[in-house]
Homo-oligomer: A and B are copies of this chain.
Amino acid sequence: MTTSSNTPLGVAAIGYAFMGKAHSNAWRNVASFFDVPAFEQKVLVGRDADAVSEAAAKYGWAESATDWRSVIERDDIHIVDICAPGWMHAEIATAALEAGKHVLVEKPLANTLGEAELMTAAAAKARARGVQSMIGFNYRRVPALALARELIAEGRLGTVRHVRAAYLQDWLTDAESPMTWRLRKETAGSGALGDIASHAIDQILYLLDDSVTEVSGRLQTFVDQRPGPTAGALEDVTVDDAAWVNLSLASGAIASVEASRVATGQKNSLRIEIYGSLGSLTFDLENLNELYFMDATVPVREQGFRRILVNEPEHPYLGAWWPQGHIIGWEHTFTHQIRDFLTAIAAGESPSPSFEEGLNVQYILAAVEESAAAKSSLIQLPARATSTVIEGA
């Protein structure tokens, strides 16, 4: 599908829940800050006609619809943004790509490897025809992380040796918090692993421009039953509350990843520490305007992690926003994502991260699950004395 540069691109979004709201916000605002190809927020799609109509009005879409297929058939739609649940991704994405629509799909690519592979094949085929696709790992568009990638690519860390990543949340801390579709394997695919460890893993690959050669992992469900809809009845939680991952990278670096939904007091703390032979970087998503950089090439006397407030016109994406020190928020990463997606489409280039990259992350997650199931690395220890003070003889 070739788009005349004179016709605004018509955009449809599928889904209006949390991610639909975040993507809509990005579409509504991107052109106010960035110089992007002309587009129109044509239609928002959802299953409940009244609700989606209300959401469309609220979020800046011209129309609403209840059938995503009808939207894909429209000639005035050039871009489909898929914010629907993971089990719907494959069907919608392949249909849209075949119909010649550029596709942006929220992560994870799909709930199963098979579906993800089908989507990746469809994307490759479409790409050959100039139809673009991208997966929504929005944290690649955090300016501080984009700056981190630049510094690493410039060799400022020297040889990267190890990476410590963690994604810590606490919304499942309360054991009385009820059962939801997110806690069932059949609907959610996995727990903390797929939902948030996936972000950390994608970041590591992005920041280091590296690939994974070996994987080991462990998964744990701390609260294995939770209240169901029937009063008094407990249901089984079938996904992990927490995940521990160890990755060998092709470069020789080693990365550890820990993800949790029961890390009490941590709200949305994606932390990354990267240690190289010449310097280091650390980051925390709860303070996403900041990057900490340690330059080990300056004299020892004055070395130290410096807090870079990534908020200057010199920093990635920031020239479009506010004067220095006027910080941006989490939602801005989606605006940057749309900007990069539109820019690539206009340039006829393939945006990144591609479906291949999304599939790659899924292979890694699958390997974690395989390793965790095998438990082959666990050495059993006999029962022993604890640290309790031994009473005097």
Q: Which residue numbers of A lie inside 8 Å of B, CB to CB?
A: 18, 22, 24-25, 28-29, 31-32, 58-60, 127-130, 132, 147, 151, 157, 161-162, 164, 166, 169-171, 173-175, 202, 205-206, 209-218, 220, 222, 241-242, 244, 246, 248, 250, 252, 254, 256, 258, 260, 262-269, 273, 275-280, 285-289, 292-296, 299-309, 311-312, 314-315, 321-332, 344, 347-354, 356-357, 360, 363-364, 367-368, 370-371, 374-381, 383-393
What's the Cα separation between A378 and B212 when bound, in Å? 12
Chain B residue at minimal CB-CB distance from A216:
B377
Instruction: Tell me which of B151, B305, B330 contacts A327 (CB under 8 A).
Output: B330
Q: What residues of B have a CB within 8 angstroms of the CB of A220 in the complex?
A: 162, 254
Instruction: Tell me which of B60, B360, B379 contacts A216 (CB under 8 A).
Output: B379
Instruction: Tell me which of B147, B266, B351, B379 contacts A215 (CB under 8 A).
Output: B379
Known contacts: A344-B392, A370-B379, A390-B352. The answer to whether A268 contacts B363 by CB under 8 A is: no
Chain B residue at minimal CB-CB distance from A213:
B381
Contact B303 A350 (CB under 8 A): no
Q: What residues of B have a CB within 8 angstroms of the CB of A305 in the complex?
A: 265, 306-307
In whole Å, how far is A389's beta carbon from the nearest beta carbon of chain B?
4
Q: What residues of B have a CB within 8 angstroms of the CB of A384 in the complex?
A: 211-212, 360, 363
Known contacts: A250-B383, A327-B330, A392-B347. The answer to whether A265 contacts B29 by CB under 8 A is: no
In whole Å, how far is A51's beta carbon from the nearest beta carbon of chain B?
15
What's the Cα separation between A218 and B344 when bound, in Å? 41
Instruction: Tell me which of B60, B265, B280 contacts A32 (CB under 8 A).
Output: B60
Q: What residues of B have a CB within 8 angstroms of the CB of A309 in the complex?
A: 267, 286, 304
Contact A206 B387 (CB under 8 A): yes
Contact B380 A377 (CB under 8 A): no
Contact A390 B275 (CB under 8 A): no
Contact A18 B323 (CB under 8 A): yes
Known contacts: A206-B387, A330-B322. The answer to whether A162 contacts B348 by CB under 8 A is: no
In whole Å, how far is A40's beta carbon from the nearest beta carbon of chain B?
13
Most chain B beta-carbon neighbours within 10 Å: one of A161, A276, A387, A388: A387
Contact B322 A326 (CB under 8 A): no
Q: What residues of B have a CB within 8 angstroms of the CB of A206 in the complex?
A: 387
In whole Å, how far is A61's beta carbon from the nearest beta carbon of chain B?
11
Q: What residues of B have a CB within 8 angstroms of the CB of A242 in the complex?
A: 161-162, 254
What's the Cα separation between A244 and B163 when bound, in Å? 12
Instruction: Tell me which of B267, B311, B325 contacts A325 (CB under 8 A).
Output: B267
Instruction: Tell me which of B128, B285, B326, B392 contacts A268 (CB under 8 A).
Output: B326
Contact B254 A256 (CB under 8 A): no
In whole Å, how far is A298's beta carbon from the nearest beta carbon of chain B?
9
Contact B293 A264 (CB under 8 A): no
What's the Cα separation between A168 and B176 when bound, in Å? 37
Q: What residues of B have a CB within 8 angstroms of the CB of A217 in the complex?
A: 377
Question: 9 additional contacts, CB 8 Å, given A132-B392, A304-B308, A329-B329?
Answer: A128-B393, A164-B166, A171-B323, A202-B387, A213-B381, A265-B275, A350-B392, A351-B389, A374-B376
15 contacting pairs across A/B (C-beta < 8 A): A32-B58, A161-B241, A210-B387, A214-B379, A220-B254, A242-B254, A263-B275, A264-B276, A264-B296, A287-B287, A304-B306, A344-B392, A350-B390, A363-B384, A377-B377
Contact B377 A294 (CB under 8 A): no
